[in-house]
Amino acid sequence: PGVETTTGPLGQGFANAVGMALAGRLTRARFGQTHGAAESSGLGDHFVYGIMGDGDMMEGVAGEAASLAGHLGLGNLIFVYDSNQITIDGSTDLSFSEDTAAIFRARGWHVSDSVDGQDVQGLRRALEDARSETTRPSLIVLETVIGRGSPNVAGQSKAHGAKLGAEEVALTKQAMGWLEEPTFWVPDEVQAYCAERVREKQADRVAADARLQAWRTADPESAASWDAIRNGKFPEDLGTRLAQGRRGIQDATRNHSKAVLTELAEIVPQLIGGSADLAGSAAPPMLAGRGIVGPGAEKGEDPFLGRNIHFGVREHAMGAVSNGIALDGTFIPYCGTFLIFSDYMRPSIRLAALMKLRAFFVFTHDSFFVGEDGPTHQPVEQVDSLDAMPGLTVFRPADGVETAMAYGWGLQHAQGPIALSLSRQGLPALDRPEGFELKDILRGAYRVRDTADSPDVILLASGSEVALCLETADSLAKGGVEAQVVSMPSLELFDAQSESEQLKLIPDDGTPVVAVEAGCGERFRRYVGRRGLIHGLKRFGESAPYKDLATRFGFTPEALSRSVQEHLERSRSSQS
């Protein structure tokens, strides 16, 4: 009992339910088998019920999720569609005239349509039919009247969101033969029915606990695995272990992410996920040898034993379904696509942050360095907008070590979702200074290039621009300008540090700070100040090889050196 999810915008709850049902099937495939017990554990045998309205039915995310649920054959998912044919603006005739039952049948659903909302026995029969359907999700189309019983409001849009008012409430009670006083009244027969249902459910719980204990006794190995997964505890040195394998390797951070996820698959059996038709671009990748969820499973394999989910080109549903998996509490979902398409997922990401869900959103191709795909596929404002979202921790790692530590931190310490912003292009492995410790990364920012004395300028960057800043610092040094370089993979983690810790890296002593980002970069404004320089992109990109774009947009060591020197000259002039 309780609130399973905050549904937010219409359609989100529907897609969450698809994720919950999928998690149930995944659980049953792993832990619901007999394995020598007198009966199964019962784990994952539950149904997921939902109620949706006309507004939910119109939303694109519901259509995406319904398509996926039908494809996966989620026979444990049952939705009752409250078809009252009214929205805020009026009758659904204004905007919605499709044959919903036919559409859901075409999507692979079992459908009971035209069930009278006042026919209790008809609804009971429809629910029983749905529960007997094991290979298809079920939709029950319940024909209802909004505001039923209200003489002046029934069947009208004003019943949708407005109060009836004291006078109309009195008229409604009269029309329904209901006591007008007391204001809140529960008939004796209703109280008796509810009390009996509580007793029945308590007995069901006792039986379920006994069944689970019998399973534990018969199959202690599976029971131990179940407990470990539900506890969600990980080795304290997880991040360090992951990072060791990434040291000194030059590669795109999307490929580092692929390697880390592959290693995590061995350590974290509850890690499960996939991409929106971009696994080949490691956005994120398929986990080799981990099986496919659904019809893509190997012949003879349980279709829910796999760990790779093909979400298809359904970014919005992918995010919301992943939230549903996280809400179930057994598995840790990851999902992803190109960063530019995170805009298709924003409501799902926002709700994950609001609910503090443990989920990973893995975004690749994170800047104009995408190249020839052009401005439609080159993110500019996306990292800034994600960083502005409360409760979402964004990591934009500069190399494999930072990528590994981001995953490690997300599993060990995160109290909410993680978004990773990863490069398409290859990046050098950072050569960190003496005294560096891996835990420095988890402070959100750390120095990757120091100066013997006080610096003339501090270069601040994340991701692919950290290496650019290091090259630029070497170039500036030849001209007598000493630059420190700070890598800031996570602004959220840095902001969580004490003021004294922050000032060690970005002092408030007048030292010029230049932030560099192959995107908007305004997220760094609070560190550089009003008069500081953000060397970013104030326009959309173009279609060209990424090295040509770097030259055009001023993201070469030579161009950045000139930009920094000009900024320093302006700073000196303003102070004189």
Q: Report the Cα 351 to chain-centroid distance in Å.
A: 8
Looking at the fold, whether 259 and 330 belong to one and the same domain comes out as: yes
Give CA torsion, residues 322, 324, 326, 330, to 10 deg: -120
**What tokens does 63 get?**
């259509």
**What tokens does 228 get?**
């470990």
pLDDT given for residue 574 in this prediction? 78
Looking at the fold, whether 194 and 249 belong to one and the same domain comes out as: no
Name 488's Cβ contacts closer than 8 Å, sequence gap at least 6.
444, 445, 460, 461, 462, 494, 524
Separation of alpha carbons 344 and 512, rounded Å:
38
For residues 555 and 371, the answer to whether their CB atoms sit within 8 Å is no
Looking at the fold, whether 319 and 368 belong to one and the same domain comes out as: yes
Confirm whether 532 is domain-assigned. Answer: yes
Pairing assessment for the beta strands 418-421 and 360-364 based on DSSP bridges: parallel
Looking at the fold, whether 67 and 193 belong to one and the same domain comes out as: yes
Separation of alpha carbons 462 and 569, rounded Å:
25
Separation of alpha carbons 322 and 279, rounded Å:
16
pLDDT given for residue 338 in this prediction? 98
pLDDT given for residue 40 in this prediction? 81
First vs last C-alpha separation in the chain: 68
User: At what angle are helices 12-31 and 220-231 packed, to 10 degrees?
Assistant: 150
Looking at the fold, whether 414 and 472 belong to one and the same domain comes out as: no
Confirm whether 382 is domain-assigned. Answer: yes
For residues 520 and 538, the answer to whether their CB atoms sit within 8 Å is yes
For residues 489 and 438, the answer to whether their CB atoms sit within 8 Å is no
> Is residue 5 left, alpha or beta, with left meaning phi > 0 and alpha meaning psi from -120 to 50?
beta
The stretch 173-180 carries a mean pLDDT of: 92
Looking at the fold, whether 351 and 255 belong to one and the same domain comes out as: yes
The answer on pLDDT for 549 being more than 80 is yes
Looking at the fold, whether 289 and 394 belong to one and the same domain comes out as: yes
> Which of 198, 229, 264 is the last residue before a domain boundary?
198
Q: Report the Cα 262 to chain-centroid distance in Å.
A: 20
Confirm whether 180 is domain-assigned. Answer: no
Catalytic residue among 39, 168, 266, 315: 315
Among the residues of 41-136, which ranges form H helices? 54-58, 60-72, 100-106, 120-132
Looking at the fold, whether 252 and 192 belong to one and the same domain comes out as: no
Looking at the fold, whether 379 and 493 belong to one and the same domain comes out as: no
Give whole-number Cα distances, 422 to 130, 201, 341, 464, 489, in Å: 43, 48, 13, 9, 11
What's the CATH number where 400 sits?
3.40.50.970
Collapsing DSSP to helix, strand or coil, 158 comes out as helix
Looking at the fold, whether 250 and 345 belong to one and the same domain comes out as: yes
Separation of alpha carbons 456 and 468, rounded Å:
18
The answer on pLDDT for 38 being more than 70 is no
Model confidence pLDDT, tens digit, residues 218-256: 999 999 999 999 998 898 899 999 999 999 999 999 999
Confirm whether 44 is domain-assigned. Answer: yes
Residue with the larger pLDDT of the pair 101 and 530 = 101
Residue 576: pLDDT band by 50, 70, 90 thresholds?
A: low
Collapsing DSSP to helix, strand or coil, 204 comes out as helix
pLDDT given for residue 3 in this prediction? 74
| 476 residue type, one letter | L
Task: Give the Cβ contact number of residue 568 at 10 Å.
Answer: 18
Among the residues of 232-331, which ranges form H helices? 238-244, 253-267, 315-328
Separation of alpha carbons 89 and 452, rounded Å:
68
Instruction: Say how many residues make up the chain.
Output: 576
Query: Of 7, 137, 132, nearest to 68 (Cα)?
Result: 137
pLDDT given for residue 289 in this prediction? 84
Residue with the larger pLDDT of the pair 233 and 533 = 533
What's the CATH number where 481 sits?
3.40.50.920
Confirm whether 535 is domain-assigned. Answer: yes
Range of the domain at 82: 12-144+186-198
Containing 420, the helix (H) or strand (E) segment is strand 418-421
pLDDT given for residue 36 in this prediction? 52
Looking at the fold, whether 132 and 246 belong to one and the same domain comes out as: no
For residues 270 and 330, the answer to whether their CB atoms sit within 8 Å is yes
Domain count, the chain: 3
Confirm whether 447 is domain-assigned. Answer: no
**What tokens does 154 get?**
């029934």
Confirm whether 539 is domain-assigned. Answer: yes
Among the residues of 464-519, which ranges form H helices? 465-478, 491-495, 499-505
315 has catalytic annotation: yes
**What tokens does 559 get?**
């161009």
Q: What DSSP designation does 407 have?
A: H
Confirm whether 96 is domain-assigned. Answer: yes
**Low-confidence winner among 275-284, 398-407, 455-464, 491-500 (lowest mean pLDDT):** 275-284
